[in-house]
Each structure stands twice: as structure tokens, then as C-alpha cells.
Structure 1
Amino acid sequence: MQRRMRGWTWIGGPLLVVLGLLHAGGPPARAQSGPRVEARVSADSVKVGERFTLTLVVTRAAGRDATFPSVDAGSAVFGDLHAVRRGAVRTRRSSTARRVDSVAYEVTTFALDSAHVPVLPVRLASGGDTTVVGTPPRTVPVVSVVGPDAKALRTPAALIPFSRPAWAWGLLALLTAAALGGGAYGWWRWRGRDADEADAPEAASAYEAASARLGRLERRHPSGPEAAEAFYVDLTEALRVYLVRRIGVRALEQTTAEVVAALRRRPTMHEETIRRLQAVLEQADLVKFADAQPSPAESRSVLEEAQAVLDALEATRRRHDAQATDDTPSSA
């Protein structure tokens, strides 16, 4: 009898534990975390010009809508990668309150040794509230396309020196003198132009002022966190001051989402230009508010894109002004 009771205790103990877990509803569910976004590549390493797949995956709340970068965003968003095409956005349910969105890009790169993938922004919108989340930056190794017999390659031999005729030395002296004279004349004209601009009243157009401010950023090399933040602050200020003076948008006191919404309410603004401006401002927001650290090459690419957006905005504004002038009835 005692032996039978000990056998029942040995079997019934674990059974009671299992029944207790089932009655309690299993282990407690983990609290839902915030939005997460990651970038996945289809290969550990690629060759120059080889096409591969970049997949962005975002886990978000069911009440938010995810917007991924467009395929024509350029190097300002994709860094060393060149996006060829983008697939459809796929959505699956991970729980009753969570969704997982993913989109695949066919990309290639022409970088040497490694391709840098910067912080890729994904916008999450819920009603009028928009949040920008970014992927961690990563590097994709790029293997050499030189074959295994590269060891047989040799450096070119030194050129055999030839004596120069006397007339060649005379021609070289004349060309040197002409270059020095042209440089001195150009420096004199440049100094005179700067003096005229310093004495002239503040009558330059908003476009010229913004373009000049962006041009001055070309001489800066934002390699550290503080330098990068100051670089992007000046870049966005140039664009926002232009939007205030030329377009009439209160861009200095609005967020990026509010600036984009204000521009979309203007029928003369092109959607493509607005999306390019939004990409530049969001890249700057990631540096200023999310501690993103772009390389100097990426910053130069964003600067070039900012100048291109400024040119497009000014061209649109001038066409609108010309059309308004043509539509004005002339007095008899």
C-alpha cells in the first residue's frame, strides 16, 4: 500500500503542476514594446555591381501606418546602395495589437571594399501624429572582382626619360606666366566682388541667400558629433528660411511633418519636390534628435540633394509668378 502511494505521488506531482499552469492561462505575456525596425540583406558579401535584396522590417502597433523610403530617394537615404526597384509592402499580424510590415528593395552598389548602409528612416503615422524610427547603420562587405591570378600583376615600369627641346622650356615658361597672371586677375576680381557684396544692401533674393548659405557648407567637413549636428542645423535653417521668405510657410516654428503638410495644401507645389524635401529634413532630424552619425560623404550627398530641392522649389515658384503675371489683364 505504501509503495502504491509513493508511485502515485511521483506521477501526480508533475501532473498537478501542469494542470495548475493550464488553469492559470500559461506563462504571463510579455509587455508590448515600442516600434522596432531592422534592415536585412540577402547576402553576407556582394560583388561590385551585383544585385541583391535589402529588406526593411518594422514591428509596430496595429493603429499605426508605416511608410517606407521611396525607391528614388537616392544616396541621401540609401548611402552607398543604389535602389533599383521596390516590392510591395507585406503585412502580417504578430498579435492582436501588433503588426509586422516588410518591404524588399532590389539594390546594388559600386563601392569598394565595403558599402555603408546609413540609418534608414521609416515613418509611423497615427492620425495627425507621425514618428520617425531608423534602422541601425550597417556595413555590407564588397569582395574584389579581381581573379585569383592577381598576384601575377606587376606595377608598370618607369618611363624612359627623354630630353626636352629648348623651345619646350620656353613654351612652359610662357604658360606658367599666363597662369600666374590669370590667377592674380581672378583674385583681384574676386576681392572686388566680395567688397561690392559687403557694401550692397540686403536686397538678395531668398533663393540666392539660401543657395549661398548651402554653398558655404561645402567647405565644412562634419566628421564629429558636434560638427555633424551644427552642419545639419545650418543646412535645414537655409531651407526653412527660404520657405518662410519665398513660399510663405512658417517653417522656422514647425516640425518636419507640419512643413510637409503645409506645402501639400498648396496646389502649385509638386509632390515629387515635397517628398525630396521631406527626405532631406528627416535625415537632418535623425542627426539632430536621434544621434545618427553620417559619414562626411553622406553629408555631402545630403547637401547636394538640398541644393537640388532648393532649385526645384525656386523653379516652381518662378513658373507660378510668370503665370500669374500673364493672367493679369493689361490696362487699356
Structure 2
Amino acid sequence: MNLKFYFLLLIASAGLAQTKPLETSVDTTKNKIGAQFTLTLKAKVNASSKVLFPNAKNFGSLEVIESYPVDTVKENSRYELIKKYGLTQFDSGKYVIPRIPVLIDRIPVFSDSIAVEVSNVKVDTLKQKMYDIKPIIQVRKPMGDWWKYLLGLLGLIGLGFLAYFLWKKYRKEPEKAIVYNSPIEKATSLLQLLEKKELLQKGEVKEYYSELTDITRDYIEEAIEVPAKESTTSELIVALRAASAKKKMKLSKETLEGLEKVLKQADLVKFAKSKPLDFEIEEDRRKIENTISVLDKSIPVVIDETSKKWELLQQEIKLKKEKRNKKLAIGGIVLGSIVLLLGFIVATKGVDYVKNGFVGHSTKELLNGQWIRSDYGNPSVTIETPEVLKRLDAKKTAPKDAMALIKDMQMFGYGSLIERFNIVVSTIQFKKETDADLTQALNGTIQTLESQGCQNILAKQEEFNTEKGIKGVKGYGTLTFEKQKMYYEILLFSQSGGLQQIMVMHREGDENAQKISERMLNSVELQITN
């Protein structure tokens, strides 16, 4: 916190700072609900003086709806600075505009407190229809929001399993890569598989010839190293004759002519929509089988690069398949582990820990942990907390003029605003005994929160008594810090020569944090000073 500003406000609230002339006035002391009170502060200062008027959302129980610009009037060598505020209240009753600190040359000067009254708007009941009082309706006790988070988590897990089931059911199974020991084994297996498809029985003659010639061309390209797939029928026969001579293959003229005849017949079927007879199709099939067999037997039996390439190709296919299966297995394990880990974290640390991004404090863990009851500061504050509060070195940042008035000053804390959970216990013992203005000290704390980046601060105030009857002031409300809405509670006590404060802040709607705050504030006891 900005401790320097904080302690200036606390000391000034105790009436120890030297004051300068500051006029206070209000346009009316009686108004209706929602109407505006115009508060005017006039400070007469030298030309070289620096004046800072407060920029607050509330003055006591009155809401600041308008903060007007400062007007400046010159009077000889001095200046009169005029600051106006528009105040309102939406509940009827009697209120007090508290003493407001104005910093003149960094020294707080306080305005006068003014009593105002807010009255209801009179309603003519004779002109309005009256209705009977409605009967009492039994309301069920709210369950809280924990079941929503649990239902959402179960829903996400269910959607995950459903998505996996649908993906597994409807995904296209990748064609299993069959490893063949040789090109002739591959060609023979594919020819057998072609017959099992029963394309001829279905009348798909074109598809039958396409697959028949593709098997033949693949075999020629892989076994004899002729670019058969990209060649026309004529180009393939010429290349095959050249390869036969080069490799010294014993191929008869009838074998090549028979192959050429089948390939041309296939071209007519595929491109000219020719429809051969059944016995012609059977004859073409037989010629292809014989041709592939003759070609394979005519290849010289030597250990060459072809067999090595074939073996490497099959090994590469097998390795890719193993890698793909391994990745799928690892992905499944990782996904399952993440789901289980999230479930474990939610069960042990609570949903708020997950919503905070796995950082900060788990209020569920703090609430259910082992609590500690300790004394802090002087005059001491006895309080029960979920963790031991650590001492904060406040003296390094306190102004020297403030330190001259302080006999002892101590501060203890846990967490921070950034972590969305904060506990602060502070005590000040002055050199001169005084009765501090607790309302003004509360306003000073709220202004300190504003200086730390808190916005939209809604403040309420009420009396507070400890179990032993020590009276104090309780301030509470909501604020926004870095777009996160938070709830705060502040207890202030003034005993002879001292000022004690306990503050708890947490995310709004965090039920565990609210229970922590209630348990802590109900456990507060103070050292009774004489």
C-alpha cells in the first residue's frame, strides 16, 4: 500500500496535524431522497502553496455524484480555491458529512462536519389503489454455486468422451500398410484381392480393367525399373523391350505382344467405353497373370539396388505406422492425465483456485486448514487467521513528519490485491493520547485504496462491538481492481494513545473467502488499555 499517504491520513484523523483556515458550507441541510446537496470547500492559501482536494466516491454515508472543477479567486497576494461536490443519499434519515482532509503543502487540513437530513417523498395514498399484504411464501435455502461448477466439469468430461467416441466410430481408418517381401508377392496378392471385390459381377468393367492394368504397371516399375505409370501403352512396350535387352531378360515376342494387347484392350474400355465379352475378360486376366509370372522369372537373380530399395521402402512404411500409433497413444494418455489432474485440483483446492489461473491462494484450502490465533501489534490485536501474518516494514515508507508523532507503528499481512485475497492488521500508538476520528480514518483508508488503483468503491459504515464490548467502526462494500470485482471489510478501533485496523479483501462471490472473513472478524479481541 501507499503507506506514506495512509499514515498521513490516520495521524490527521487523530487531530495531531496543524490545521490551516478552510471554510466549509452546504447549500441546504434538508433535502429529499435522491436530491443533491452541494458541499463547498474554500481554502485561502499563498500563491506558492499546493492544494490537493480529495477525489472520493463517498463522504461518509453520502455518495459523491459530481466533483466540480476548482475555481480560483485572487485576493491581493493570496488565492481562494473553491471546490464543490454534489452529494446525495437514497435512504431517508439523518446523516453527517464528515470532516474531509484537504492537503495544503502536503499537510492535511480538515473541513467542518455538517449534519444533514434526508426525508421521504410524500405519497398521496388517497389517489392510489391499495392492495392487501401478500401471504408469506416459503423460500428454499439456496444451494450455492458449487454444484454449477461440478455440473460444468462433469459436462466437459462427458463431451470429451462423446467426441472421442464419435471420432473413433466415424473416422476413416487409414489403410493398413501391408508389407510385401517382393514385387511379385505384392502383384499376386493384389490380383487375388481384385477378384474378391467382384467388380465384374457388379458390372463395373471399367474399374476392373483400371485396377488390373495398375497392378501390372506397378509391378513393371518396381521390379524392372521402367517408368510404367507415366507411360502410354506404346511407350511402355518400347521401354520394356529396351530394359529386357539391357538386363539380358529372356522375353519372347509373344509375351510382349500379349501384354500390349491387354493394355490396349484396357485403354478401349477406359476411354472408348468398349465392353468386352466375359470370355475376353477372363482371357485378359489370364494373360496378365502369365505375363507377370514370365517377367519375374526372366529377371536375372542378382543382388542389386532394386531389392535393397524395396526392403528400405517396406521398413520406412512400418516405421511410420509405429510412430503414428505411438503419437495417438501418447495423446490419449496426456488428455486423460489433464482431465484427472483438473478433477483432483478442483476436489482438493476448489474451483476458485482454477479460476484464478492456478496462482494465488486457494480459499477452500485456507478455510479447511489449521487456523492460528495470535496477537499482533501494540496495542495488540488478537485474531484467528488461516495463516500466520508476516510483519511488514512500514517505517521505511512513512514520512518523517509522521514518524515524529508516532511512538510505535506495526503492520502485518498475508496475500495482496493482485492475488485477489488480502489480510492486513495494523496498529499505531501515538506519543500523545488522543481519541481518533474513526469515520475519518475509514475515509483515509478508502482513499488509500483508490491511490492503489481500486475503482468504483462502494462504502458502507456501521458500529461494531467485540465480544468483550469494545466499540469500533466497521466499513464494508465492493470495489473493482484490474477489472475484478472484490469485497472488503474493515474494522477500526481507537483506544487511548492508539489506533487499530483489521482489513480483509477477496473476490466477490467467493463463498469460502466470505466464510474466512466472517470467522476472522468474529474472533477479533483487543488489549484493553487503561
Pairwise TM-score range, normalised by the shorter structure: 0.3 to 0.5
Larger radius of gyration: 2
| TM score, norm. by length of structure 1 | 0.41
The structure in which a higher percent of residues are strand is 2
